[in-house]
Amino acid sequence: MTIENFVEKFAFAIEVETVSLTADTEFKALPNWDSLNALSVIAMADADYGVALSGEDVHSSTTINDVWKIVSARKQ
């Protein structure tokens, strides 16, 4: 359960190359970011971490690390 791992899963969820993302990526500024991407991230948190994210959690986060903080806190 590392941030690197999470970034990888995040990239897979929204169908971009892993190398194009880091923990500091401001994901909502990505060129094709949309509400469907937010759903994909919520689905990934559920399937891979057993964590229920809300749309609000995703919308209020700026970087991938912000989302990771919520996921890792809820995982414990």
Contact range with other proteins by CB under 8 A, out of 9-17, 22-30, 63-71: 9-17
**Cβ atoms within 10 Å, residue 28:** 14
As measured in angstroms, the least distance from the Cβ of 35 to other proteins is: 5
As measured in angstroms, the least distance from the Cβ of 31 to other proteins is: 13
As measured in angstroms, the least distance from the Cβ of 13 to other proteins is: 8
Q: Which of 4, 46, 62, 69 binds other proteins (CB under 8 A)?
A: 46
- CA–CA separation, 71 vs 58, rounded Å? 11
CB 10 within 8 A of CB 21: yes
CB 3 within 8 A of CB 68: yes
Q: Which of 55, 60, 62, 75 binds other proteins (CB under 8 A)?
A: 55
> Interface with other proteins by CB under 8 A: which residues?
13-15, 34-40, 42-43, 45-47, 52-55
